[in-house]
Amino acid sequence: MQISKFHGVVPAMATPFTRDHRLDEARVGELIDGYIRAGVHGISVAGSQGEFFALDTDEHIRLLELSMQAIDGRVPLYAGTGGATTRKSIELTKAAEALGVDLALVITPYFAQPSQDELVEHYTAVARATRLPVMLYNNPPRTSVNVLPATLARCMRAAENIVGMKDSSGDLTQSVEYLLTAPRPALLFSGRDTVALAMMFHGGQGTISPAANVFPELMVRMYDALRAGNQDEAVRISNVFAPLRAAWAWGSFPVVIKEAMALAGRDAGPARPPIAGLSEKVRADLAAVVERIGAAA
C-alpha cells in the first residue's frame, strides 16, 4: 500500500461551530482553503481537536463530505472515524470510504478501556471492513487507553492496510518503539506539539498538529527546515511555539486552541457545551502569547 503521500504538517482541524453551536458549514471550506494556502501537506478532521465526541453521526459524516469538497484533491484528507465501539468505528469508516477520503484515523475505544488483545481484535475488524489505509490513534491522556508498540505490530501483521500510528501520548520512547517494532515500514505522526520535532528527528513522517490550527505557516517552516537539514532553524521555530503549548492548560479542552485561532484570524467559533469560553483575563493573556509568537516568527 502506497503511504508516501502521508507526510508533513497536517492541522488537527478544529470543527467550526456557529455561535449557537451548529456546524458552520461555510466555515469548514474557508478554514481548509486557508490551511492549504499556508502550505500544509494534509488536513485531519473529526479528531479530538475537532470535537468528534460532540458530533452526532450525521454531523460527523457531513463534516467529512464538506472537507472532501473543499480539499478537492489538493492534499490528503485524514478522516477521524473512531468510536467507543467497534460497530461505531466500522460505520464511520465505511461512510468515510464511500466519500473517498484518503486515510481513516481511528482513535482507541474510550471509556470501556479495552485490553491489548481487545485492541488487536478491534482494529483488525475495522481494517477488514475497509480498503482505506487505517492509522491507529493513541491518545491516553483523553481515553485512558494506551496502545503498546507490540500491539501496533500485531495489528499490522493482522491487516495489511493498517499503516501506522498517530501518537498523542507524549512518550517519545514509546513513539520510537512503534517504528522499531513494526513488521514493515510504518507511518508515525505526532499528535503532541511538544514532541513533534523530536519525533520527526527520530523518523516520524510528520505532525497532526493542534498548533498548526493557529500558525500553519510557521509549522510548515519548521518541517521544511528540518527536511532541508537546517536543524538549528527547526529547533528555533519549535521553541517559538513553547508559550502556546503551555497555554493549552489555561482552559478546558479544546477551548484554548479555538480562542487562539480566533485571535490569529482563523475563527472556528466556540467549543460545544459543556466547555465554556475563556475569561477576559485569560483571553488577554492568550492574546499576548499569540501576538508574541507572530512577532517572533
Residues annotated catalytic, as ranges: 137, 166
> Are 215 and 225 a contacting pair, CB within 8 Å?
no
- The secondary structure of 21-89 as a DSSP string is S-B-HHHHHHHHHHHHHTT-S-EEESSTTTTGGG--HHHHHHHHHHHHHHHTTSS-EEEE---SSHHHH
User: d(Cα 123, Cα 2) in Å, to the nearest integer?
Assistant: 20
Per the annotation, does 257 bind a ligand?
Answer: no
User: d(Cα 104, Cα 83) in Å, to the nearest integer?
Assistant: 12
Q: Residue 30: CB partners within 8 Å, gap ≥ 6? A: none
User: d(Cα 60, Cα 65) in Å, to the nearest integer?
Assistant: 9
Tell me the CA distances in angstroms from 65 to 95, 115, 141, 228, 234, one per residue in order.
Answer: 10, 33, 29, 35, 35
12 strand-pairing partners: 44
Closest CA to 254 of 266, 265, 268: 268
Amino acid at 54: A
Q: Which three cell numbers stand for residue 188?
A: 508515525
- Residue numbers belonging to the annotated binding site for pyruvate: 208
